[in-house]
Amino acid sequence: MSNLTTKHLLGIKDLQKEDIELIFRTADNFKEVINRPIKKVPSLRDVTIANLFFENSTRTRLSFELAERRLSADVINFAASSSSVSKGETLIDTVNNILAMKVDIIVMRHPNPGAAVFLAKHVDASIVNAGDGAHEHPTQALLDAYSIREKFGKVDGLKVAIVGDILHSRVALSNIFCLQKLGAEVMVCGPETLLPKHVASLGVKVEKDLRKALEWCDVANMLRIQLERQDIRYFPSIREYVMRYGLNKSLLDSLDKKITIMHPGPINRGVEITSDVADSDQAIILDQVENGVATRMAVLYLLAGRVE
Amino acid sequence: MTRRLLMNGNRLDITINRLCYQLLENHDGFLDAAIVGLQPRGVFVARRIHQRLCTILKRNDLLLGELDVTFYRDDFRRREMIAPSTTRMDFTVENRKVILVDDVLYTGRTIRAGMDALIDFGRPDCVELLTLVDRRYSRQLPIEPHYIGLSVDTITEEKVKVLWKETEGEDGIWLSAAESSTVQSS
């Protein structure tokens, strides 16, 4: 198989396992490309990509933009704060105006869950979901699973714990779908208030004790506490959260095996993980960032290359 | 589908030998030269040439690279996608004499993409082209080889396939009438 089965990347849930494996194989090639003296290929030189960010983002936007430029695509950036959205324009009008400028692919982050699916139904361009509310963040899940595959040589059969604010996390949901499709066992761990009510129905293990989760897993993906998404207080204080769910070096060293630590960034050092854990040789956080560019190049290349 | 043997394993071996000595004529001692095989099938020719040159020169430091040109092709978005192969270039080509190697030279489009891919690894002193089979009178670009194993006159409906012990169990060059007249990748 050398073609994706889908025109858009809206979420991992709708993706076939074969699609994910194709993205990974293609990302292997792009990882080699971005380590060359000239880190650029001309494949997408006749493709225009619009990055629409209706929500703040630094690393995802930079990663996408770098991926686009390294494929030689023309790139236009659009931030909601500086746009006519604040003047009352609807999403479809905004996007159709952009498409009238002959844009082929839209990369969109939006605060509303389902925004990418909605857009895909109404406009004639490939849509890449760069995060829609607390729903999905597919490219983050792809780069996380790709980083696990790179470290272990496989994903199948591994045990992955996702720790922290599961309730507000699109990274958690996309990761669960992606890891399960690739054959990994997934556990979520966090305080009761930050675990979605029916999360076990996704086929994941649920654990409230961090030590037990760490003893179980091969890989721990430590999520950030998303204070900006929390409308009420879900735990008494940051200090209490750190005491029960923060990962520090002594806890990590007390385990009887060396587990791999991941973090989607940005890190709140001293909250979900301490500095010495983030900088330890067990952490693959910076590998995740590099792999983010390679996997996003693969996604854009494969979407752009589809012959309708 | 009819198939005709153009060159058997023994003759192929003699041809590889001849190409190696032609290379040595032009690249005294092979001190600043590098052999770069094009993926997916040119790498087999390049590996054979490299191995033979190492034996002749009694050296094991000759540079060998393998270059995939998928991301440089001019038919992306115009036909079904081709799965990329691995690029292995552990050296830069800056100021080196590069011998680009492919199995079958046909339209010349792969070589054009190959030259674009190559200069992403530096500015070579010069680039030469070695092809095991040259399908004459089929070029769509102004590209001609410096070293030729075998020249054949073919029509579009025919295909030339080089088989290797490593992948097909025996060495040989075959000519066959293709089922359709689609342009092959070589």
User: pLDDT digit string (tens) for B61-110?
Assistant: 999 999 999 999 998 988 888 889 999 999 999 999 999 999 999 999 99
Mean pLDDT, chain B, whole residue set: 92
Tell me which chain B residue has its CA closest to the CA of residue A32: B87
d(CA A283, CA A299): 25
Query: Among A28, A37, A305, whose Cβ lies nearest the Cβ of B92?
Result: A37
Q: How far is A42 from chain B (nearest CA, A)?
A: 6
- pLDDT band for position B181 (cuts 50, 70, 90): very low
- Its ipTM equals 0.84
List of chain A residues whose C-beta atoms are within 8 Å of the C-beta of residue B79: 307
Separation of CA A146 from chain center: 11
Adjacent-strand bridge partners of A203: none
* Contact across the interface for A307 and B121, Cβ inside 8 Å: no
Q: Is the pTM of this model over 0.80?
A: yes
Report how many Cβ contacts below 8 Å link chain A to chain B: 52
Q: Radius of gyration of chain B from Cα atoms?
A: 16
* Contact across the interface for A26 and B84, Cβ inside 8 Å: yes
List of chain B residues whose C-beta atoms are within 8 Å of the C-beta of residue A67: none
- Parallel, antiparallel or unpaired: strands A48-53 and A219-222: unpaired
- pLDDT band for position B5 (cuts 50, 70, 90): very high
Strand order across the beta sheet in which A74-79 lies: A74-79, A48-53, A105-110, A126-132
Query: Among B76, B92, B121, whose Cβ lies nearest the Cβ of A43?
Result: B76
d(CA A253, CA A23): 35
d(CA B186, CA B44): 14
List of chain A residues whose C-beta atoms are within 8 Å of the C-beta of residue B68: 29
Side chain identity at B97, as an amino acid letter?
A: K
* Stretch A58-80: mean pLDDT: 93
d(CA A144, CA B154): 50
Q: Any chain B CB within 8 A of the CB of A308?
A: no
Structure-token pair, residue B64: 């060998």
Burial label for B94, CB within 10 Å (0-12, 13-18, 19+), is: exposed
Ramachandran assignment for B135, one of left (phi > 0), alpha (psi -120 to 50 degrees), beta (any other)? beta
pLDDT of A113 higher than 90 = yes
Angle between helices A285-304 and A138-152 (to 10 degrees): 120
- The half-sphere exposure of A259 on its side-chain side, counting CA atoms within 13 A, is 29
The pLDDT score that the predictor gives to residue B184 is 47
d(CA B40, CA B162): 12
The CA–CA distances, whole Å, from A163 to A130, A180, A224, B156 equal: 21, 16, 9, 60
- The half-sphere exposure of B131 on its side-chain side, counting CA atoms within 13 A, is 22
- pLDDT band for position B141 (cuts 50, 70, 90): very high
Strand order across the beta sheet in which B126-136 lies: B63-67, B33-38, B97-105, B126-136, B147-153
CATH superfamily of A17-136+289-304: Aspartate/ornithine carbamoyltransferase (3.40.50.1370)
Query: Among A29, A47, A305, whose Cβ lies nearest the Cβ of B81?
Result: A305
Same fold: A17-136+289-304 with A138-285? yes
* Stretch A175-189: mean pLDDT: 97
| CB-based contact B62:B47 (threshold 8 Å) | no
User: Cα dihedral sign for B124, B127, B130, B135?
Assistant: positive
The per-residue DSSP string of A160-227 comes to EEEES--TT-HHHHHHHHHHHHTT-EEEEES-GGGS-TTGGGGT-EEES-HHHHHHH-SEEEEPPP-G
Strand extents, DSSP E, chain B? 3-8, 33-38, 63-67, 97-105, 126-136, 147-153, 158-163, 172-177
Structure-token pair, residue A247: 């990962």
CA angle A15, A20, A23 (to 5 degrees): 125
Q: Lowest mean pLDDT of A61-75, A147-161, B154-168, name the range.
A: B154-168
Adjacent-strand bridge partners of A77: A51
**Would you call A7 helix, strand, or coil by DSSP?**
coil
CATH number of B8-153: 3.40.50.2020
Separation of CA B22 from chain center: 16
* Contact across the interface for A40 and B86, Cβ inside 8 Å: no
Q: Which residue has the higher pLDDT, A230 or A187?
A: A187
* Contact across the interface for A36 and B120, Cβ inside 8 Å: yes
* Contact across the interface for B120 and A38, Cβ inside 8 Å: yes
Q: Any chain B CB within 8 A of the CB of A88?
A: no
Which residues of A are tagged catalytic? 59-60, 87, 109, 137
Query: Among B78, B81, B86, whose Cβ lies nearest the Cβ of A3?
Result: B81
- pLDDT band for position B179 (cuts 50, 70, 90): low
Name B76's Cβ contacts closer than 8 Å, sequence gap at least 6. A43, A305
List of chain B residues whose C-beta atoms are within 8 Å of the C-beta of residue A38: 120-121
* Topology classification of domain A138-285: Rossmann fold (3.40.50)
**Look-up: residue for tokens 């952009």?**
A98
List of chain B residues whose C-beta atoms are within 8 Å of the C-beta of residue A21: none
Name A104's Cβ contacts closer than 8 Å, sequence gap at least 6. A47, A48, A49, A125, A126, A304
Mean pLDDT, chain A, whole residue set: 92
Structure-token pair, residue B103: 């199995």
| CB-based contact B173:B133 (threshold 8 Å) | yes
